[in-house]
Structure 1
Amino acid sequence: MIQTILSGKSKPIIVGGVLAYLNDNLPIEERVKDALSRMTLEEKTRLSYADGRFSTPGCARLGIPGLMYSDGPHGVRAEICWNSWDYAGWTNDSCTAFPALTCLASTWNPVLSKSYGVAIGEEALFRNKSVLLGPGVNIYRTPLNGRNFEYLGEDPYLAARMCVPYIQGVQENGVAACVKHYALNNQELWRNHIDVQVSDRALYEIYLPAFKAAVMEGKTWTIMGAYNKVRGTHAAHNKLLNNDILKGEWGFDGCVVTDWGAAHDTYEAAMYGLDLELGTYTNGLTSNSDLGYNDYYLGDAYLRMIKDGKIPMEVVEEKAARVLRLIFRTSMNRNKGFGAMANENHEETAYRIATEGIVLLKNESRFDKKPLLPIQKGAYKRILVVGDNAIRNLMMGGGSSELKPKKVITPLDALKEEFGDCITFSQGYVAGRPMFDRADVIPQSVIDSLYSAAIEEAKQADLVIFLGGLNKNYQQDCEGDDRKTFELPFEQNRLIKGILDVNQKMVLVLTSGNAVDMPWIEKVPSLIQSWYLGSIGGKALADVLIGEINPSGKLPFSYPVRLEDCPAHFYGEISYPGDSIRQEYKEDILVGYRWYDTKKIKPLFPFGYGLSYTEFQYGKPVVSATELKAGESLEVKVTVKNTGKVAGKEIVQLYIGDEKCSVLRPVKELKDFYKVELQPGEEQEVAFTVERDDLTFFDDERHEWIAEPGRFKIYIGRSSEDIEGTATFMYCD
């Protein structure tokens, strides 16, 4: 039958009775080469553009299936109609909603990242998805970026270490991870055209390391190009990003895919590294077109340019080979399993990530010399829960990361389960519906009524738990635009101050993917930074509040006192958000804590910060040698002891600073970390290895990584600001 279908083509290569490109026992490169030899020009080009909103074709004549895609990275999105952005209305496409990636980053736990990837990959596989569009690894540059909640924080090392196991876990299922958005997609405002100007040094030191690790360590099978321009050319078909760096320097053998609407030119798309065009002639999210898929840039126009001799055949062959390689790894991989629907194991993974990611920011002993947290059962007869986020399904909204979870446990539900009739609820403020394209206008009469009711309830309460922050409404933590202000929305600051005026016993829980302004910070005794915690988020939060789980998360970004303290905002509008056409990253390499350290600006809460219900004591760091030579390594050891009364986890952070350098360098940079779990009284030695690569900076002129001989300083700390010990050594080239 197959030989009949292939009549007129080259003689089939048959191994063990199976055509080579169909033979799973042969190396993929042999299968790709064989399939290419049988395909017409039209079939090769047809591989590179969509045939549905979330699908691209294979080659039906040869029995090669296409690819199915799903939005991520926090869960497998509900089914979308074949040729529109409407939901298909299936009843069997619910998922586990996993915590947002800011929460994952806050765990500082690569083992949990691997579990996350395995679980979400299983659900994608069960739903017959070939490519999961995640994780996102863009750097947190400004707290106004609407999509920061999908990313892994401000530090390139932390983002790299957390994304690699996620990718590996997803791809163990025969589902491709798609790392996004490559590159410099650090804001949503004007994202479709803003032209980012950045130095080579900042590009290589800050904005590319997580992508590089995803490719060279995680072996990701796909990369998604960003919407924005970089130095005048759109990122999705950018010669520097795709040809020179991604496929050149890093040797990426997978596919570069577009975000929807990110392609803009046929010649550039063909020549500058784009392999799969997923969506064009839409605004990227909502609008549809009467034009056929063959009208995409890599459709008929691409084929005509090839036939006219404007695009070399080697470009066509390489592009088709990359798509075939992806197909053989995923949809045509007969060795993969069956996957699994949302289940208890996945919920347990989501729960563990949520509990380890929650960050305790403040817990002062103001009342009877005791902190409010953890909340002791029986200690309070009347606990008032206030806030829209106590009852809100936070998996709704946010843009493409919106999910249809099989289960949702809200914080109010979980607290009622723990405290029963002791819990009363007052909404306090209203946030409106999770709309993507507009913000709801709430009548002032409604706002005032809810405010007054909450204040009256707070007067009668023994304890107030305020559950506020942001949500995934448009112009908050949401795709498509940035936040318009650093302040909390929906008059929450007024409400928080009003409650504190009548009841000082407040535990304030902020849900967000971003830092927010805190004008009430001095008056609040206990403060938790929560995130979008997913399906089991309410129980995870409640278990931290009552002490069933000891909080161990640490901030993956710095919390500024004022928005003007942020490096992206310090240099005025040309730095952020740009002039609507062009933008200059004037802070260069000084992003996040690198800026606060170097400029001696004190943050409200530093990068890597987070408290516990126990105490940890650090020993003095010991270095195995006073001198490090190229090609060698040295070891740094430090003891950590739990001196408190409950078990807990501590994240030991290692930073390195160059004491004297020919170029500007930050005071210190994160180079390693380790999360250690200790019982009360238990002590453990933590060991780190330092090598030449940990000392380097990127030289713009020589286009290489340089480590200059001289003295380097090791910092061991609880956070970027709270340093417990230091040591020095000399580097000799």
Structure 2
Amino acid sequence: MLKKTAIISVFTCISAYTLAQNISVPVYLDESKPVAQKVQDALSRMTLEEKVAMLHAQSKFSSPGVPRLGIPEFWTTDGPHGVRPEVLWDEWNQAGWTNDSIIAYPALTALSATWNKQMSWNYGKALGEEARYRKKDILLGPGVNIYRTPLNGRNFEYMGEDPFLTSKMVVPYIKGVQSNGVATSVKHYALNNQEMFRNTSNVIVDDRALYEIYLPAFKAAVTEGDSWTIMGAYDMYKNQYSSQNQYLLNDILKKEWNYKGVVVSDWGAVNNTEQAIKNGLDLEFGSWTNGLSAGTKNAYDNYYLAQPYLNLIKEGKKGTQELDDKVTRLLNLAYKTTMNPKKPFGNIASEEHRKIAKEIGEEGIVLLKNQGNILPVDINKAKKIAVIGENAIKIMTVGGGSSSLKVKYETLPLDGIKSRFGKEADVQFARGYVGDIGGEYNGVKSGQDLKDPRSEAELLNEAVELAKKSDYVIFVGGLNKSDFQDSEGNDRKSYGLPYNQDQLIAALAKANKNFAVVLISGNAVAMPWIKEVPTIVQAWYLGSEAGNSIASILAGDTNPSGKLPFTFPVKLEDNSAHQLGEYPGNKQELAAGKGKDQKNPINISYNEGIFVGYRWHDTKKIKPLFSFGHGLSYTTFEFGKANADKTVIGQDDKITFTVNVKNTGKRAGAEVVQLYISDLKSSLPRPAKELKGFEKVFLNPGEQKTVQITIDRSALSYFDPEQHQWVAEPGDFEALIGNSSDAIKTKVKFSLK
């Protein structure tokens, strides 16, 4: 980091010295001048070589500035849940620093499950502070790709299946991060909805599904959140790779949405100089080049936007119009980040950050089922508590791909449960199953050795015997972040739980009726034992405070209020992408071996169109295991009759719906009021209902509050591909208000003129 520190010092010293000596300050360093003027002045002073150098990496995670002018480098970092540990300059291996351990925050599925926009801002603010403290300029996240299939290995990094929920949750996250002078890089734009063939696929999707399902969160991120950068994806769309794609980057992002920020390539996503120049890419990272075989000292000089671009300009084959636009965008970014004298210093692993991580975890945990009120644990009856399952003792902040973290600490579920209940109860542990014993992922070492030589039968019998002797049994299982589970690079191989957990859960359910299953995962899973298990908790990957967040919910210290951000289908075939679409690709092309390299990409058709997640289940009346928006509480809520402030609206009007919500139970808690819109008669097929508003309301026992949700014509519109515009068709609509997509409590009809 000496190089970066030196550049910043030069920039600071130049400004301080010139001001002190009353010397004329260059316009690009003059704080009194408008940014646009400073950018143009800096641009005018740069050589052709300096401009091209700014467009590509100089190391694994940095790109050069202009040392001669005191313009600093940009330093990027993964990821969306915590700041990645330092790696070596030219290698993926860890740098071995001792001061790069951080707080891990809950995965974005957990954040989205809070349905709480304030929590999203808190998350972004805290994460941005840690990135700023670590001297990072661009945070490579958040991810907003839509949950299309429960097999996608990277779903845990995203915010679920619904474009509206994702849009509303991503904007405050961005604003929170960027309040620290650290740019977000919203990813992966676009259509990166599976890991299998992510580098070698061509997605075929109609314009309506593109605009209604897969683009809204990205649009909100740049038009409402003002994300200073956006990251291109690996996959192809319209036979062009997404990080060099005319339609996605130029036509939609920069023209339709008027985006003025920087387009960053995903690492290794660029493969063509001509397309990278013309089709909207601004900053190239991670391209697979070999400087030695090309006869250069620096491999980064061989990047597609490096020497090849410079040669084309010098040979007169390319002008500098695109170059100046790219550099202008990068300079604008610099004045918000590296050259922003007003950005705070940040902080790392503070008590406030620990508290935020714990609160987000608590609010994101979803109580799926609680038959017989097994939870919260009654400490008066629970003198002996059995905790069973590998995930109770497995570190989860390490693994998953590029989001693998080096943390100050991670409170494991068993430790959290012992800390909370151990003074009043005897808490004992049994392994139950052996899953992933590895302790190193992506160069980060967990320090754990989970080898266990015992047979499957021995482990199961030990767990069952402990369950029989205990007052309460808490099973902590699910998935993990090893390859072919919740992890970047590959998808899951099946919908079911791995490691014989289904057999173990069924046996434990027979052994003890006071039984709760706690699932740790970023994906839906099959539950063949659901009728035998009274209580199920969806706990996600919850970061450094995982064990404390889980224990708080189990004990009832915090009343669960999380809601599912995606549908749990009963079986994989109930998911629309698996019933109608192509996954992992075209069957004939799969058989022919396509998708093995970029020269022979495999086509993936999204035949399900707009009918993704609950839009499919509710429209086709396919009963899910658990519906989108579902989540129980330890108290009860009552919805009053919904009202609207008008029954007929014009195209430019807004309409406000109000509903009273009352806590009718004995505990304080929170409910999420969800507003869905149904178009009763449409020219084009539409889902039975679509989420268009939500508010989380906190209520004490007996307390009642009035919740208001206002919508405009955008909530009534669909995208007409023939006209290539959004259309709000006159006619009758219905507002459906409830606490999940399949639990509508009250309805209001209205008309659009």
- The residue type equivalent to 2:144 in the other structure is V
**SS of equivalent residue, structure 1 residue 119:** helix
Per-residue deviation, residues 255-304 of structure 1 (Å, max 9, x unmatched): 11111110010010111011111111179xxxxx9961001111111111
Of the structure 1 ranges 425-434 and 297-306, higher mean CA displacement relative to structure 2 is found in 425-434
Gaps of 5+ in 2: 1-6, 11-17, 291-295, 444-448, 596-601
Aligned CA distance change for structure 1 residues 717 and 449 (closer, same or farther; 3 Å): same
* 1:327–1:572 distance in 2 versus 1, CA, 3 Å: closer
Q: CA deviation at 1:233?
A: 0.6
Distance across 2 between alignment mates of 1:708 and 1:500: 52
Deviations 1:536-591 (A, max 9, x none): 11111101001000000000000100100001100264575764411000000001
Note if 1:684 corresponds to 2:693.
no
In structure 2, the partner of 1:424 is 428
Partner AA of 2:378 in structure 1: Q
Aligned to 1:305, what secondary structure does the other structure show?
helix
* Distance of 1:405 and 1:76 partners within structure 2: 9
Matched, 1:315 2:315: no
Q: 1:433 pairs with 421, 432, 438, which one? A: 438
The answer for the alignment partner of 1:373 in structure 2 is 375
Summarize the alignment of residues 299-378 of structure 1 with structure 2, pairs less than 5 Å apart. 299-365=306-372, 371-378=373-380
SS at match of 1:535: helix
Query: Could you tell me how far apart the structure 2 residues matched to 1:443 and 1:507 are?
Result: 25
C-alpha contact 1:641 1:683 (8 A) present in aligned 2:
yes
Structure 1 residues 403-422: Cα deviation after superposition (integer angstroms, max 9, x where no partner): 11112111111111122251
- Distance in 2, Cα, partners of 1:577 & 1:679: 53
Deviation per CA, 1:67-116: give whole Å up to 9, x if none. Answer: 00110100001111111000111110011100000000000000010010
Matched to 1:84, the amino acid is: E
Are the equivalent residues in 1 in contact too, given 2:111–2:159 (CA < 8 A)? Answer: yes
The amino acid across from 2:522 in the alignment is G
Partner of residue 173, structure 2: 166
Q: 1:41-52 residue pairs with structure 2 within 5 A?
A: 41-52=48-59
Offset, 1:186: 0.3
Helix, strand or coil at the partner of 2:577: helix
Shift in Å, 1:305: 1.5
User: Counterpart of 1:621?
Assistant: 642
**Which one of 717, 720, 727 corresponds to residue 738 of structure 2?**
717
Corresponding residue for 1:465?
474
| 2:618 matches 1:597 | yes
1:224 corresponding residue in structure 2: 231
CA distance in 1, matches of 2:36, 2:62: 24
Give 1:99-248 correspondences, 5 Å limit.
99-248=106-255
Aligned residue runs from structure 1 range 43-62, under 5 A? 43-62=50-69
Please point out which of 684, 701, 724 is paired with 1:663: 684
Of 252, 268, 275, 1:268 maps to 275
Of 27, 30, 42, the residue aligned with 1:35 is 42
Q: Secondary structure at the residue paired with 1:558?
A: coil
Contact 1:434–1:474 (8 Å) recurs in 2: no
AA partner of residue 704 (structure 2): E
Q: Which runs of 5+ in 1 are unaligned?
A: 6-12, 284-288, 366-370
Q: Find the counterpart in structure 2 of residue 546 from structure 1.
A: 555
Letter in 2 for 1:401: S
Q: CA deviation at 1:250?
A: 0.6
- Aligned to 1:536, the other structure's residue is in SS state helix
Partner Cα distance (1:445, 1:464) in 2: 22
Q: Decide whether aligned partners of structure 1 residues 561 and 16 sit closer, same or farther in structure 2, where only a CA change above 3 A counts.
A: farther
* CA separation of 1:379 and 1:584: change in aligned 2, threshold 3 A: same
Tell me the distance in 2 between the aligned counterparts of 1:655 and 1:311.
51
Contact 1:574 1:582 in 2 (8 A): no
Cα deviation for residue 231 of structure 1 reads 1.7
Give the Cα–Cα distance (whole angstroms) in 1 for the partners of residues 495 and 100 of structure 2.
36
Distance 1:260 1:219 in 2: 23
- 1:584 to 1:436, Cα distance in 2 relative to 1, 3 A: farther
CA distance in 1, matches of 2:675, 2:289: 46
State the shift of 1:633 in Å: 1.1
Whether the aligned pair in 1 keeps the contact of 2:585 and 2:603 (CA below 8 Å) is: no
TM superposition shift of 1:444: 8.8
What is the match of residue 95 of structure 2?
A: 88
Task: State the alpha-carbon separation in 2 of the partners of residues 282 and 274 from structure 1.
Answer: 18
> What is aligned with 1:404?
406
Deviations 1:409-447 (A, max 9, x none): 111111111222510000111222156599x99999533
Deviation at 1:485, TM superposition (A): 0.6
SS of residue matched to 2:281 = coil
Q: Deviations over 1:206-258 (max 9, x none)?
A: 00000000000000000010011112110000000000011111111111111
Output the CA distance in 1 between the equivalents of 2:394 and 2:583: 37
1:607 aligns with 2:609: no
> Which digits, 9 at most, give the CA deviation of each residue in 1:369-427, with x for residues without a partner?
xx110002231221110011111111010000011111211111111112225100001
Answer yes or no: is the 8 Å Cα contact 2:398–2:440 preserved in 1.
no
| Cα distance, 1:423–1:574 mapped onto 2, change above 3 Å | closer
3-state SS in 2 of match to 1:716? strand
SS in 2 for 1:102: helix
State the distance in 2 between where 1:457 and 1:566 align: 38
Report the Cα offset of residue 634 of structure 1.
Answer: 1.5
CA distance in 2, matches of 1:670, 1:572: 23
Equivalence for 2:446? none
Q: d(CA) in 1 for partners of 2:561 and 2:198?
A: 35
Aligned with 1:522 (options 515, 520, 531): 531
Kindly report which structure 2 residues correspond to 1:670-709, keeping only aligned pairs within 5 A, or say none: 670-709=691-730
Letter in 2 for 1:209: P
CA shift digits 1:94-149 (9 cap, x unpaired): 11100000000000000010010110000000000000011000000000000000
Alpha-carbon contact 1:436-1:474 (below 8 Å) kept:
no
> SS of the counterpart of 1:18?
coil
Q: Which one-letter code corresponds to 2:638 in the other structure?
A: Q
1:533 alignment partner in structure 2: 542
Q: Does 1:18 align with 2:18?
A: no
1:730 aligns with 2:732: no
Q: Distance in 2 between matches of 1:684 and 1:141?
A: 36
Post-superposition CA distance 1:597-654 (Å, at most 9, x none): 1111111110000000000000010011110101111211100000000100000000
Please say if 1:447 is aligned against 2:459: no
Alignment of 1:545-584 (within 5 A): 545-571=554-580, 573=582, 579=590, 580=595, 581-584=602-605
Letter in 2 for 1:627: V
Give the structure 2 partner of residue 508 of structure 1: 517
User: What is the TM-score normalised by the length of structure 2?
Assistant: 0.92
By how many angstroms is 1:511 displaced?
A: 0.4
For residues 24 and 638 of structure 2, what CA distance do their matches in structure 1 show?
66
Matched, 1:479 2:488: yes
Instruction: Give me the identity figure in percent.
Output: 52
| Distance in 2, Cα, partners of 1:212 & 1:28 | 24
